[in-house]
């Protein structure tokens, strides 16, 4: 076999070997995305929105092993429609935005749940504490894919609403998180 033929054969073998190892597609958050939470205070349900958030994601349903999710959440500006509650949420008793301006959720482990349903086994860092949090989500394909997900966060694991606010008969420990992230290809 001539040397150029050997080089072509080696190149073809290398391309075939790496073809199955393609990385997930890279995305960034697009307009129209939401990140909200719901809880109760003295048996009254309320919802709120975080100040802002930024999502980057590498995801391909056929390449879950190479998928990644990173969400940076700005806590200042969190709103529930009640000024007293909003002021309390950003105070030292809850989010303590003076010391911890941002929360972060990261995930590198993904599981298929059937159909277009998935779970991300990730870590939430909030108020200096990092704890595992599972995000279950629906993945809708398209030019601008959409991740629609839900998670439950135990606020006391992060010191949110400790002290006088730790009474779970006043405010439950579990906080429901819902998100709709519209994505676009990373430039």
Q: What angle do CA 119, 59, 21 make, to 5 degrees?
A: 115
pLDDT at position 4 is 52
8 A C-beta contact, residue 23 and residue 64: no
Q: What Å distances lie between residue 108 and 53, 58, 111, 139, CA to CA?
A: 19, 10, 10, 16
Q: How far apart are CA 150 and CA 118, in angstroms?
A: 11
User: Kind of pairing, strands 146-154 and 129-140?
Assistant: antiparallel
pTM over 0.95: no
Measured in degrees and rounded to the nearest 5, phi and psi for residue 117 equal: -100, 140
Q: Name 55's bridge partners.
A: 71
pLDDT in tens, the chain (187 residues): 555 555 454 444 433 333 344 567 999 999 999 999 999 998 899 999 998 999 999 999 999 999 999 999 999 999 999 999 999 999 999 999 999 999 999 999 999 999 999 999 999 999 999 999 999 999 999 999 999 999 999 999 999 998 889 999 999 999 999 999 999 999 9
């Amino acid at each position: 076999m001539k040397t150029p033929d050997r080089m072509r054969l080696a190149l073809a073998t290398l391309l075939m070997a790496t073809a199955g190892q393609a990385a997930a597609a890279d995305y960034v958050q697009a307009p129209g995305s939401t990140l909200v939470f719901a809880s109760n205070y003295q048996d009254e349900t309320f919802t709120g929105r975080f100040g802002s958030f930024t999502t980057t994601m590498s995801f391909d349903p056929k390449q879950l092993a190479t998928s990644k999710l990173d969400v940076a959440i700005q806590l200042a500006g969190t709103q529930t429609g009640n000024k007293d509650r909003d002021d309390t949420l950003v105070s030292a008793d809850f989010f303590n935005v003076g010391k911890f301006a941002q929360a972060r959720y990261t995930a590198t482990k993904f599981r298929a749940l059937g159909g277009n349903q998935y779970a991300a086994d990730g870590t939430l860092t909030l108020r200096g504490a990092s704890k595992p949090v599972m995000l279950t989500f629906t993945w809708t394909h398209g030019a601008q894919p959409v991740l629609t997900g839900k998670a439950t966060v135990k606020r006391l694991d992060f010191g949110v609403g400790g002290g006088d606010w730790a009474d779970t008969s006043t405010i439950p420990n579990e906080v429901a998180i819902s998100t709709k992230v519209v994505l676009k290809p990373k430039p």
